[in-house]
Structure 1
Amino acid sequence: MFIDISEKEIVVVGGGNIAARRVKTLLLFTDHITVIAPRLHDSLAELETEGRITCLQRAYREGDISKAHIVLAATDDEEVNRNIGEECNVLGQRCGRKILFNTADDRRLCDFYFPAVVQSDDIVIGINSGGKNPAKVKEIRRRLGSGPF
């Protein structure tokens, strides 16, 4: 399913390689991205300097996701990621809307999965295996990305 996220508030908790990859993909579709992490991957710091994302360089705090529509937990701490997912559920019930959640470390907790994306002009292709075969997804993305369509 493709949805319009251009006006959705997205919070990414974590500042490492996975967060950087996710942010890079999201920037194809929106510029409403806030990253929360004590340390930032160089590419995230550069995106903040360019004014393309907002960064809060500190640890995650309860309530940081209160205005988010989509939350990605990409920290290296499974408990923090799980707590953020639980907070999404509680806040969503409280405010009567679903906060979509994705975590890098446990696909069972995810409301959605990140596809590999190939984009050419106005055409976007998303490739996903539901977490079952990431190597195959990567290969297909590489093959599609190298040719015109």
Structure 2
Amino acid sequence: MYPILVNLSQLSVVVIGGGKIATRKVKGLVKEGGKPTVIAPEISEALKRMAKAGEVRLQQRNFQAGDTKDAQMVFICTNNEAVNQQILQETTSQQLVNDTTNQSRSNFFNMVFVKEKDLGLAITTGGKSPETAKKVKTAVQDFLKSLVNS
């Protein structure tokens, strides 16, 4: 894997799913300048608020063939394996795809990013343990604050 930072403001991003994992992904995308389209029959209250605020495009319905056609980045966040397979079958090698249910089917992974002023540090486990990455993030945050503010 080759670590990069991506400017999301010009990318077409689709998140399929409306639950806890999708909400966490969408919050991160919006925080970094993205305006993703969320497609799911059931949507969390947080995602509904973000849609009302104009931060995301919401399509409250089931996934349909063609939903990923124009997307440059796709997040699969459903707990329905049949739907996940359908999404994977229509994505192409030119799209960035993150299957949150099975990282081996992804061609990119998110990293935890800690930022303090102009200094940023990315933490990754290669998609194997997001929980461990979060623990390391907590430990690193205080260190970065002391380093940058000294």
Residue number in structure 2 paired with 1:103? 99
- What is the total number of aligned residue pairs between the two structures? 142
TM-score w.r.t. structure 1 length?
Answer: 0.86
- TM-superposed deviation, 1:80: 1.1
Structure 2: stretches of 5+ with no match in the other structure? none
Larger Rg: 2
- TM-superposed deviation, 1:76: 0.8
TM-score w.r.t. structure 2 length?
Answer: 0.86
- TM-superposed deviation, 1:47: 0.4
- TM-superposed deviation, 1:82: 2.2
Structure 1: stretches of 5+ with no match in the other structure? 93-97
State whether residues 25 and 117 of structure 1, in contact with CA within 8 Å, keep that contact through their aligned partners in structure 2: no
- Residues 20-74 of structure 1: CA distance to partner in whole angstroms, max 9, x if unpaired? 0001111122233100011111111110011111100011111111211000010
- Residues 59-118 of structure 1: CA distance to partner in whole angstroms, max 9, x if unpaired? 1111111211000010111221122122012xx6xxxxx111111111111010111222
Alpha carbons of 1:81 and 1:146: their partners in 2 closer, same or farther (altered >3 Å)? farther
**CA RMSD, 1 decimal:** 1.7
- Residues 90-148 of structure 1: CA distance to partner in whole angstroms, max 9, x if unpaired? xx6xxxxx111111111111010111222334444321101333332111111223451
Please give the secondary structure, in 2, of the residue aligned with 1:6.
helix
For the residues of structure 1 that align with 2:130 and 2:35, how far apart are their CA atoms? Answer: 27
State whether residues 115 and 126 of structure 1, in contact with CA within 8 Å, keep that contact through their aligned partners in structure 2: yes
